[in-house]
Amino acid sequence: MADASRVVLGLGGCVDQELTLTADVLERLVTDYGIAAAELAAPPSAVHGERDLVVSILGYVAQGRGGEHFVAAAPALETFAGRFPHRTTLGGTSVRAGILLSRLGVPSTLHLVSVNDTVRRLLPAGTAYVSSGVADTYHPHLIVQYHQGLRIRAGDIDVTAPFPNRLIYVNDPANSALLLTGDLGDRLGHADVFLISGFNAMRDAAELDRRLAELRAHMRRLPPAAVTYFEDAAYHEPGFSRRVRDALLDAIDVYGLNEDELQSYLGRSVDLLSADQVADALTAVHALIPAPTLVLHTKYWAAAFGTNARRYADALDTGTLLAATRYAHGDDFTDADVDRLRRQPRRPESVAFAAALHERLGDRVHCVPGFALDVASPTTIGLGDTFVGGFLAALVRQEER
């Protein structure tokens, strides 16, 4: 395939400032801000400054969970990033997926809401994109990752991360508006695959409803055989998640989410290696989100659940392989890294889980076990985006065959 018009990836993108948390900086901030352990049990729902940001981060670290939040005070993001070594990258599910597709030789067209010199410099050469922005804007997102075992001890706080993960903090008016280009429908008229992501950043209900109606109108141009993949995320306004699902669900073929989003919908934790608990969770979330196929990607496995589960077997495996490669080798992984990892064994507990889940749910589910990896300093940023990119690449190649 050599036609970028056949894969359209939207709807927004961003510049990321990536950093890895360290105990010394966090302990100093806990002391300077006088943060107490009791605050971590109920972290602020709105992040108004750097103190709130630190409380929010520590609450997630204690649970080993990931998340995403709007930050009302944009300068707090720059202040916090300046306390750590950090690097500038491109982010957003669609952009990271598009960069991976480019590496795999699958052209695509990105729908962006803003560009700037950093975006132009970091996009792969020859990347096709359109932007709804009328002028350059620059509102970097703060992306923090932390490693398993990170321990913060200060005052009465003593927390240790049980798992590695990543957190996203944002103040980005362009992505909050999520304007669409007027010719999006024309572009979708040629598409085999359409990725929808980014609505989680919107914060105005009336504007959200207008944008959803506009997108529905554009999507009427999609060919009947096109596959529409929707990737979920943590909503800055949690109540908007239902509005987006109600507006788009009947036009979505595959609805993707991770374990944090699953557990948030259910309002309870789920043992991801218990076939009984996961079967119940998949059944419950599918009742809430009745897309033809749900795709759940987790740190232990990835699974498709629905009427077309087997159709996505290769896509699940490709997404899992590439996300694992990024976890182990970061942004700069090579084809040789992918080939080596492909030959590594799968996690024994995940293999047993996949068999038990199939026994419980039958052909309604297809589960791919994750790889057995022991990485001292893994990359936790962009794993879901990489999974999506690998999943879509396999779909495109499947359509070509």
Is the omega angle on the peptide bond into residue 178 within 30 degrees of 0, that is, cis?
A: no
- 7-15+89-136+174-400 architecture in CATH? 3-Layer(aba) Sandwich (3.40)
d(CA 340, CA 373): 12
Q: Where in the chain is the domain with CATH 3.40.1190.20?
A: 7-15+89-136+174-400
Q: Where in the chain is the domain with CATH 3.30.1110.20?
A: 17-88+139-171
Q: At what angle do helices 93-103 and 383-400 cross, to 10 degrees?
A: 50
| Cβ pair 62, 148 in contact under 8 A | no
d(CA 239, CA 153): 35
Neighbours of 59 (CB within 10 A): 19
Handedness of CA 131, 9, 11, 194 (dihedral sign): positive
**Topology of the domain comprising 17-88+139-171:** Adenosine kinase, small domain (3.30.1110)
User: pLDDT digit of tens for each residue in the chain (401 aa)?
Assistant: 458 889 999 999 999 999 999 999 999 999 999 999 999 998 887 899 999 999 999 999 999 999 999 999 999 999 999 999 999 999 999 999 999 999 999 999 999 999 999 999 999 998 999 999 999 999 999 999 999 999 999 999 999 999 999 999 999 999 999 999 999 999 999 999 999 999 999 999 999 999 999 999 999 999 999 999 999 999 999 999 999 999 999 999 999 999 999 999 999 999 999 999 999 999 999 999 999 999 999 999 999 999 889 999 999 999 999 999 999 999 889 999 999 999 999 999 999 999 999 999 999 999 999 999 999 889 999 999 999 999 999 999 987 77
| Cβ pair 20, 84 in contact under 8 A | yes
d(CA 312, CA 290): 17
| Cβ pair 368, 307 in contact under 8 A | no
